[in-house]
Structure 1
Amino acid sequence: MNNSQLNYENDFYNWTRQQIELLKTGRFNKLDTVHLIEELEDMGKSQLRELESRLIVLIAHLLKWQFQLSSLTEQWQEFEGKSWRKTIIEQRTQLLGLFEDMPSLKNKMPGAIIKVYPKAVLFAVDETSLPKNTFPDRCPYSTEQLMDKKFYPVNA
């Protein structure tokens, strides 16, 4: 095991500084390419996981808005879903920031919606105690609706 690999395993921060210095000085033959490639792949996966995580929360809250808001406002006149609205706004804002930093992630959104929708439904089921079959089998919201700050689904 060479010094670079030891640094990677024992002092990741120092390893990153070392790799940056090697890149800046053009000493490419000294780079720890195996770990560098691994870290770059993980960075891409991490950004995709963030996209998926934010979509789960956003979709779950839109589902709660659509399928539970009216019954809760009937039970409690003062209930307006303010915390849900706040969460929806927050997730949309964070997604916009993610797309500003990494525009290519926008292309991943349709596939990510399909992938995470079942998880968003389970999230909504857990938070509402509504039966799973209350919610559509497929995401009822388009990519545009998910990102439209004025879009809130009509109560069911």
Structure 2
Amino acid sequence: MNRIDRLRASTPYEADFVQWCAEQGALLREGRLSELDRENLAEEIESLGRRDRREIRSRMEVLIAHLLKWEFQPGHRCHSWQASISEQRTWIRNIVKDSPSLRRFPAQVFEEAYKDALPVAVRETGLRKSHFPIEPSFTAKQALDDRFWPGGPLSMDDFLRD
């Protein structure tokens, strides 16, 4: 798909994004740099970094919401909550592994993610907002630590519901 017809005009970015990507890739591979759509290509490359930041931010919010549910509804703990918490941690860790420059980013967005996770936890638990602390009861480092489970240690009784 990355071989472009040299006789045909390039596809405009706005007309067909997939075709445009294929053509830009082919131009790069062929060394035809003067024919590249440099502005749109640069924007797309920059957006890749923003995508990873958005992904970390979103997963931090889900992680925090589930940690809050885990902490403040111990009688409702279940395997699906545990799996979700573990999954968010793994995804964040893998994104940072692929892009080490983002290693501090989860901590940088932690406070903001907590503020956005709080209404989610309120809605999903049915508890009043006043039941939850305004400030986080755990840190970003703890939230990302596989050994950290707020509200006390794990026991088999935590998994009676599922």
User: What TM-score does the superposition give when structure 2 sets the normalisation length?
Assistant: 0.80
Q: Which has the higher helix share?
A: 1
Q: In the comparison of the two structures, how many residue pairs are matched? A: 144
Aligned identity (percent) is: 40
Matches within 5 A, 1:21-100: 21-69=26-74, 73=75, 79-100=76-97
Q: For residue 104 of structure 1, report the CA deviation from its aligned partner.
A: 1.6
Q: In structure 2, which of residues 91, 101, 108 is the aligned counterpart of residue 104 of structure 1?
A: 101
Q: Which residue of 1 aligns with 2:19?
A: 14
Q: For residue 83 of structure 1, report the CA deviation from its aligned partner.
A: 1.7
For the residues of structure 1 that align with 2:100 and 2:26, how far apart are their CA atoms? 28
Asked if the contact 1:113–1:139 (Cα under 8 Å) also holds between the matched residues in 2, the reply is no
For the residues of structure 2 that align with 1:80 and 1:146, how far apart are their CA atoms? 17
For the residues of structure 2 that align with 1:56 and 1:80, how far apart are their CA atoms? 19
Matches within 5 A, 1:109-124: 109-124=106-121
Asked if the contact 1:56–1:119 (Cα under 8 Å) also holds between the matched residues in 2, the reply is yes
Q: Which residue of 2 aligns with 1:125?
A: 122
Gaps of 5+ in 2: 1-8, 153-162
Q: For residue 24 of structure 1, report the CA deviation from its aligned partner.
A: 2.1
For the residues of structure 2 that align with 1:45 and 1:147, how far apart are their CA atoms? 21
SS of the aligned residue for 2:137 comes to coil
Asked if the contact 1:92–1:147 (Cα under 8 Å) also holds between the matched residues in 2, the reply is yes
Q: Which residue of 1 aligns with 2:145?
A: 148
Q: CA deviation digits over 1:88-126, x for unaligned, max 9?
A: 111111112111222222221112112211111011011
For the residues of structure 2 that align with 1:55 and 1:39, how far apart are their CA atoms? 24
For the residues of structure 2 that align with 1:149 and 1:39, how far apart are their CA atoms? 34
For the residues of structure 1 that align with 2:127 and 2:77, how far apart are their CA atoms? 19
For the residues of structure 1 that align with 2:98 and 2:73, how far apart are their CA atoms? 34
The code of the aligned residue for 1:145 comes to: Q
For the residues of structure 2 that align with 1:19 and 1:84, how far apart are their CA atoms? 43
For the residues of structure 2 that align with 1:16 and 1:8, how far apart are their CA atoms? 8
User: What TM-score does the superposition give when structure 1 sets the normalisation length?
Assistant: 0.83
